[in-house]
A = this chain, B = another copy of it.
Amino acid sequence: MAVQGTWLNLLEWLPLPAGKLLPAVIQDEASGAVLMLVDLNQEALELMSATGRVHYYHPAKRKVVAKGEASGHFQEVLEMRLNCRGDQLLLKVRPAGGACELGYQSCFFRRLTPEGWETVDPRVFDPDEVYPEIAFSH
């Protein structure tokens, strides 16, 4: 279960130099589905410590965002794992909705088939309703 206090010392246990990015795999704790792969910086770690919710550096927006700040699909961090080299994170989360801005539970909704990449996951929300003000470039 999430214990917000657990994350309060995140920067103490994971010092991250300014400007450095740390890749983080976001996994649904209940289903095991890999939802996203994002980059964290110092600010994202600070905000995650303070709120217990996933924050990450958004490459297109060039700033740190809270996952779900536009959609309401926040991700509560239940568990944090560190890799052997100490330079990657695995965050097990409880998502409040689909992770992908295109309407899917996971950003990895396409599978390789002999005919190419095929969308195999169902849409769980309508992105035009959830992100009415966003013009998608992808």
Contacts and interface: CB of A to CB of B under 8 A. Distances in A.
A74 interface: no
A42 interface: no
B138 A37 contact: no
Number of copies: 2
The secondary-structure label for the interface of chain A is mixed
Interface string A118-138: 000000000000000000001
Interface string A91-119: 00000000011101001111111101100
A72 interface: no
Contact of A34 (B6, B10, B27): B27
A81 interface: yes
